[in-house]
Structure 1
Amino acid sequence: MKQKSFSALSNVMNQELWHTLLPLLHEEVLDNKEMLIREGEIADKIVWIRAGVLRSYFLLEDGQERTYCITFDESMMTAMTSFISKQPSKENIQSIGKTELYVLYKADVDKLCENNIVWTIFFKQLLEEQFMELEEKLFDIQRLEAKERYLKLLQHYPQYIQRIPGIYLASFLNITPRHLSRIRKEAHL
C-alpha cells in the first residue's frame, strides 16, 4: 500500500518545475461527510490529501452505498476515469472527518502538459502509480480474506482505522458490520 506523498512530489521535481506547480495548487478543507465529487459530475480536479481520509463509493440498485476505495493522507485522489475521459463520474468521493487537500484543476494540468513534455512524463508517472495502487487493492480483495485485509489496513493506517465508521469499513472490506465487529475483537485480543 505504498502511496505517493505530496511532500515527496517536490523531491522528484527540480526547483523550476516545483515553482511552476506551486501557484496552481489551491488549499481546500472538507468537513466530515462533505462531497469532493458526486456521481454524474465531471471530475475537473485532482487532489493530494494533506491530512485526512476520502472514500469513494457508488450506489447499488437498492440505494445502498458500496465503499470501494478508502484513501489516506499524503496520497492522490480523483474520480480517475472521469478526470481522464471528461465523462460524468460513476462514483462519489466523500470526506471521512475533516480532510485538508491540495487541489490542482484539470485545465491547469492540461496547460502544464501542453507547454512542457516533462509535465506529461510527471503526470504519466503519477497516473501509473495510482493505477498500481488500485490494482493492488483489487488483488487484495480477490486474494485476501476480510480479516487479512483488515489487518493490512491496521498495519499501514492504525491512526485512521478506529476513526472510520464501521459501516464504511465493512463495505470496503465487503463484509457485514457484524463480521467486522468480530474481526476487530479477534484482532485486538
Structure 2
Amino acid sequence: MNILLAIFVADINLTSMHDKLLQYIHSNYHFSQKEIEMVQHYFEPVSFSKNIVIEEAGKVPNYLYYIVSGYLRLFYMDENGNEITTHINCPPGFFTSYSHFISETVSDHNVECVTACELLRITKENLDHLVKQSHAMKDFSISVFQHSIAYNENRSRELSTLNAEQRYLKLLKDYPEIIQHVPIQYIASFLGMKPESLSRIRRKIIN
C-alpha cells in the first residue's frame, strides 16, 4: 500500500499533538519560547491507520517518530520468511530503526503501526538543524540516544537471564495495557517465544 495514501490528516489537533511532545521534553529540560516554536515547526504531525508499514526494510529510515498515541513495532524477516518483532513501543516515546536513522544507513527492519497512530515526525536533516540551533534540544537528543542504548542492553540481559514466564510477567508489570492493543503473535515474538508457548503461559497464570 502506498504510504502516502494511508496518511489521514483530518481532525488532527496539531496544537495538542505538539503540546504532548513539549510536555514530555519539559519534564526534564527547559525550552525557550524560540526553541518551542522550532520544535513545532520541525516536527510534522501525521496519522496512520493500523497495519501500515511506515518505514521499509532495505531503505534508509526517513524519520524519527514521537508517538502521541498508538503502538508501533520494529520487525525483520528471517531466512525462513518469518516476521521477528524486536521492539514494541507504547506511547509516549521516540521510535525508529534508531542506529540506521542516526548513521543514515540502510535498515533491515520495518516500522509498522500495530494500531492507528498519531505521530510527530522529523527528518535527520531537520533534527541536525534543530540540534545545532538549540543547546537544550542537543542535550535532550543525547538523553534519548542514551535511553535507547540502555533499553537495548536491558532487553538483551532479560532475554538471556529470564525464563519465558518471567519475561511475560515483567512485560505485563511494565506495560499492563499492551496486551489489550498488540496481537499475541507480536508479543510472543518480541519475548522470544512461539505464540503457542505464550498461550500456555497465559492459561497457567489465569488458572
Aligned-pair CA distance for 1:143 = 1.4
1:14 aligns with 2:36: no
Aligned-pair CA distance for 1:129 = 1.2
Q: Name the one with the larger strand percent.
A: 1
Return the letter of the residue paired with 1:102. L
Return the letter of the residue paired with 1:110. D
Distance 2:120 2:80 in 1: 35
Q: Percent identity, aligned pairs only?
A: 25
40-49 or 108-117, larger mean C-alpha shift? 108-117
Return the letter of the residue paired with 2:190. F
Return the letter of the residue paired with 1:111. H
158-167 or 72-81, larger mean C-alpha shift? 158-167
Distance 2:69 2:135 in 1: 30
Return the letter of the residue paired with 1:124. I
State the Cα deviation string for residues 5-32 of structure 1 (Å, max 9, x = none): 8332133232332232122111111211
State the Cα deviation string for residues 144-177 of structure 1 (Å, max 9, x = none): 1111111111122222213321211111111111
| Structure-2-length-normalised TM-score | 0.83
1:157 aligns with 2:175: yes
State the Cα deviation string for residues 99-130 of structure 1 (Å, max 9, x = none): 11111221111112233444332211211112
1:111 aligns with 2:129: yes
Does structure 1 retain, via aligned residues, the 8 Å contact 2:64–2:122?
Answer: yes
- Alignment partner, residue 85 of structure 1: 103
Query: Gaps spanning 5+ residues in structure 2: where?
Result: 1-19
- Alignment partner, residue 189 of structure 2: 171
- Alignment partner, residue 87 of structure 2: 69
Cα pair distance change 1:160/1:73, threshold 3 Å: same
- Alignment partner, residue 45 of structure 2: 27
Does structure 2 retain, via aligned residues, the 8 Å contact 1:10–1:18?
Answer: no
